[in-house]
Amino acid sequence: MKPVLLALALAACSSSAPVAVTSLASTPRPMPVPARTPATLRVMSYNVNFGLAGDRDGVAAVAAAHPDIVVLQETNAEWEAVLVDGLAGAYPHHRFGAPATWPAGGMGVLSRFPIVSIDELPSVAGPFFAWRIVIDAPGGPVQILDVHLHPPISDSGSWVVGFWSTRERRERELAWHLAKLDAALPTLVAGDFNEELDGRALRYATDRGYSDAIAQFAGARRTWEWPVGRLTLRFQLDHVLHDEHWVAIAAGIVEAGRSDHKPVWADLQRAD
């Protein structure tokens, strides 16, 4: 990557900054979200962007795919209010966690099915906590790890230094969270990983048997974009991983909402 392009990419980043430039092409053509097939669970992940709190387009973006479960990043009190107001009929079970030190650190979950428990997992290597969520879904409990991994910013606030220095942190962060999961439960790991398919955290997960449904069905299509002058930087930062208890039937990216991230979804069928 050319140094000038890297500097542009990093200078444009917010707390959900990318780790590599993959495309500066035009926006991908919107693709309709297909109807769910029988006996599948549709899970969505969406970084809503804390700076757009209360945006009704974000609510519509969630509703567009009719997911069963939605894990959210960068929520806050305003986002909670508008999401519950607009979607409580479809998702009677919902929980939200307020951001701690960083305003982008909130978490949320919307579910058609009862939420059994939520454990907050503090990070050993990043500014954002994660959630271990257990949901009483059809066919038995489902364990979901909702993550927002360390952005590529150094302790001194440098994006350029952070691009190189934080890769190991995301790996260490995800390793810490995965170690807290119940290995007996069917597991999904979804959220804003702040890195693409070649990142160390994602490689750590795939080396341990997790598969990325977004990569399987959407290839390297971007899930995040940010305009820089006449260019638009595009990266795939949002992922839905599943363990061996699941088979991915379909997955995709919803071209809706005003967040810098796009909602991603996956249809999963139990392999057991």
* pLDDT tens by residue, 25-74: 445 566 678 887 778 999 999 999 999 999 999 999 999 999 999 999 99
Cα separation of 160 and 12, whole Å? 11
Sheet containing 69-73: give its strands across.
Answer: 93-97, 107-111, 69-73, 41-47, 264-270, 246-253
Residue 49: predicted pLDDT: 97
Contact present, 52 and 261 (Cβ < 8 Å): no
What is the DSSP pairing of strand 187-192 with strand 140-148? Answer: parallel
Tokens for 60? 């519509």
**Backbone φ and ψ of 270, nearest 5°:** -65, 135
Flag the least confident range among 3-7, 25-29, 106-110, 188-192: 3-7
Over residues 188-203, mean pLDDT:
95
pLDDT averaged over every residue in the chain: 87
- Across 125-137, average pLDDT: 95
Q: Is the pLDDT of residue 2 over 60?
A: no
Element housing 264 (H / E): strand 264-270
Residue 230 is predicted with a pLDDT of 85
Residue 121 has pLDDT above 80, yes or no: yes
Confidence of residue 20 (pLDDT cuts 50, 70, 90): very low
- CATH class, 3-23+37-270 region: alpha beta
| Band of pLDDT at residue 81, cut at 50, 70 and 90 | very high
Question: How far is Cα 128 from Cα 268, in angstroms, rounded to an integer?
Answer: 27
Give the pLDDT confidence score for residue 9 in this predicted structure: 44
Name which residue leads in pLDDT, 15 or 135: 135
- Domain locations along the chain: 3-23+37-270
Mean pLDDT of 235-256: 96
For residues 181 and 38, the model is more confident at 181
Enter the tokens of residue 226: 């940010």
Q: What is the pTM of this model?
A: 0.88
